[in-house]
């Protein structure tokens, strides 16, 4: 999958109803630098899972997926991702580089 395709999906997700209704508010995180590490990790997981659920085909039912072994289909090829090792979802450039490299390992 091309990096531009991933970027288009990422940008579309940030403007999507799913993202808007998720309750994730980037301004809140910027204003509250003292948030616990757990809250930041939870935000990261929610962003990743919503992104994959809405912009990729899942290879396994959602309720069986785990952050350390999240499986999506890209061009009918299973791609296993460890979301725990993903860069911050909000760091678009680093995140997309990571995702692109993970997809290309499998394809």
Q: Do 21 and 59 meet the contact criterion of CB atoms below 8 Å apart?
A: no
What's the chain's average pLDDT?
Answer: 85
78: CB partners within 8 A, 6+ apart: 59, 71, 72, 106
Can you give the C-alpha Rg of the chain in angstroms? 14
The whole-number pLDDT of residue 24 equals: 61
The whole-number pLDDT of residue 99 equals: 97
State pTM to two decimals: 0.77
Q: Which whole number is the average pLDDT over 17-46?
A: 69
Q: Which whole number is the average pLDDT over 23-27?
A: 60
Backbone φ and ψ for 78, nearest 5 degrees, come out as -70, 130
Backbone φ and ψ for 50, nearest 5 degrees, come out as -65, -40
Distance, CA of 23 to CA of 106 (rounded, Å): 33
């Amino acid at each position: 999958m091309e990096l531009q395709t991933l970027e288009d999906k990422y940008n579309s997700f940030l403007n999507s109803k799913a993202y808007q209704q998720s309750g994730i508010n980037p301004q809140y995180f910027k204003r509250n630098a003292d948030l616990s590490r757990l809250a930041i990790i939870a935000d990261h997981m929610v962003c990743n899972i919503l992104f994959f659920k809405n912009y990729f085909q899942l290879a396994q039912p959602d309720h069986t997926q785990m952050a350390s072994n999240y499986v999506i289909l890209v061009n009918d090829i299973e791609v296993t991702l460890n979301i725990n090792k993903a860069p911050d979802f909000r760091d678009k450039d680093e995140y997309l580089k990571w995702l692109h490299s993970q997809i290309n390992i499998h394809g």
